[in-house]
Amino acid sequence: MDPHALRVEVLQYDSAVVRWDVPVGVDFCRLEYGPAGFVPGTGTVVDSIVGGEWRIGGLEELSTYDVYVTGWCRYQECFSGTVDTSFSTPEACPTKFNVGEPVVTDSSIYLSWTVPAEAGSSEVLVVAHGADSSQAVTYGPLTPDSNGVCSLFIDGLLPGTTYEISIRNWCPHSQRYSEWHPVSAMTLRHCTVTAQPNYDRWGSVTGSGSYLQGTYVTLSAQPANSHCHFATWSDGVLYATRVHQVTQDTIFTAIFYCDTATAVPAVGDLPFSLAPNPTDGLLTISTGTDEALLTEVFDAAGRCVMRQQLHGPQSTLDVRRLPAGRYLLRLASNDRYGSRAFVKQ
């Protein structure tokens, strides 16, 4: 004739409804409860409970309790055996809740979050990262919709700025706020995309401009004439027309080369000649000037593969160590430059 099936069916942050099955022959029950691990006889006792239910009040949130129930048999004038169970009270006003991924533009942030059942509304604080807390803007109270979701659209923000957002819930049952739940979001900024040719006279490029982060922009490289050709972009992309998603300030250089067989004149205002072209190792450079000139050789990808000083109206450049392919030789003085393509066999 012992009470059995002891269970906690309604649990709040400060109370619990305990139920059990009362067998025939048990007239009333005694309930004792206390903090987890307490010694029976030292807890809080409730005597003469008729039926199989009792509400325990005055509990502490986020705490664990033990409960013991014993039945009294009037006809036998003795107590039955004891059943026991344990339970833990929840947080009075839950802090943990689901916040969706912020949706941002250059001047706004949209947030949505699920409000727990215990909460009746939410409050939001917004402040730019690094700013004084006195500059925080408060929004609320915000009431959830029928699905328990709160949302907030924050506009008038600065582009490219991180904002610290704090959300807390108000729980009317416990008459208290939850702890603050932190969220960070960064507004988009405008980025500069610079698209340029390696030499203006060999080709042109379109697509430069200022774009919002996340924007897709089309870059296109067009050779100057039938003697010039597109080789590659400076980041290795081989298509003359490409689509790029903007994430930061970026410079793209389109690498062009021109056929040497068509005798394309040297580019710039420092004339010179190369011979032989194509060459298998030694290039004779004739400038007709005694001034010292910086000589640079670039490969088809735009990388500088040689650099040295030349002196006198005629000099020899040893390119035997270079792999076979097309190259660009550039001469520069203090205020003038010239460039010409050559082929290494």
Choose one of 258, 276, 302: the last residue of a domain. Answer: 258
97 occurs within a structural domain:
no
Tens of pLDDT, residue by residue over 5-59, are: 888 887 888 899 999 888 777 778 889 999 999 998 999 999 888 888 999 999 9
Which pLDDT value is given to residue 2? Answer: 57
pLDDT in tens, 138-152: 998 999 998 889 999
Is residue 315, in this structure, part of any structural domain at all? yes
The whole-number pLDDT of residue 233 equals 87
280 and 334 share a domain? yes
- Cβ–Cβ under 8 Å, residues 294 and 232: no
Give the number of domains in the chain.
4
Domain presence at residue 62? yes
Q: Is the Cβ–Cβ distance between 7 and 21 less than 8 Å?
A: no
Mean pLDDT of 248-265: 70
Across 308-320, b (16+ Cβ under 10 Å) vs e yields eebeeeebebebe
Q: Is residue 93 part of a domain?
A: no
pLDDT at 261 (0 to 100): 37
The total of other beta-carbon atoms located within 10 Å of residue 13's CB is 21
Clarify whether residues 182 and 199 are in a common domain: no
| Segment of 84-93, 184-193, 274-283, 332-341 carrying the highest mean pLDDT | 184-193
pLDDT tens digit sequence for 307-323: 888 888 888 999 999 99
Query: What pLDDT was estimated at residue 208?
Result: 95
Query: CA–CA distance from 162 to each of 151, 169, 322, 338 (Å)?
Result: 19, 23, 49, 47
CA distance 93 to 61: 9
Residue 288: its pLDDT value, please? 83
> Would residue 58 count as lying in a domain?
yes
Overall average pLDDT of the 80-107 stretch: 84
End-to-end CA separation in angstroms for the chain: 105
Distance, CA of 322 to CA of 328 (rounded, Å): 12
> Structural domain of residue 164, as residue ranges?
103-186
Residues 298 and 337 in one domain: yes
At residue 96, the pLDDT reads 65
194 and 122 both lie in a single domain? no
Domain boundary among 158, 186, 214: 186
DSSP sequence for 187-226: ---EEEEEEEESSGGGEEEE--EEEETT-EEEEEEEESST
What integer best gives the mean pLDDT of the chain?
86
Which domain CATH number covers 62? Answer: 2.60.40.10
Q: Using the predicted structure, report yes or no on whether residue 267 has a pLDDT greater than 60.
A: no
**Residue 259 CB partners (closer than 8 Å, separation 6+):** 227, 228, 229, 341
Contact between residue 85 and residue 7 where contact means Cβ atoms under 8 Å apart: yes
What's the pLDDT tens digit per position in 276-292? 989 988 999 998 888 88
Does 227 share its domain with 170?
no
Residue 130 and residue 173 in one domain: yes
Q: Is the pLDDT of residue 178 over 70?
A: yes
Within a domain: 94:
no
8 lies in the same domain as 84:
yes
Residue 104, judged by CB atoms within 10 A of its CB (0-12, 13-18, 19+), counts as: buried
User: Do 153 and 180 reside in the same domain of the chain?
Assistant: yes
Structure pTM? 0.54
Residue 98 lies in a domain: no
Same domain, residue pair 238 and 300: no
Question: Closest Cα to residue 60, out of 37, 38, 83, 35?
Answer: 35
Say if 204 falls within a structural domain. yes
CATH at 309 = 2.60.40.3080
Position with higher pLDDT, 263 vs 91: 91
Q: Which of 205, 240, 258 is the last residue of a domain?
A: 258
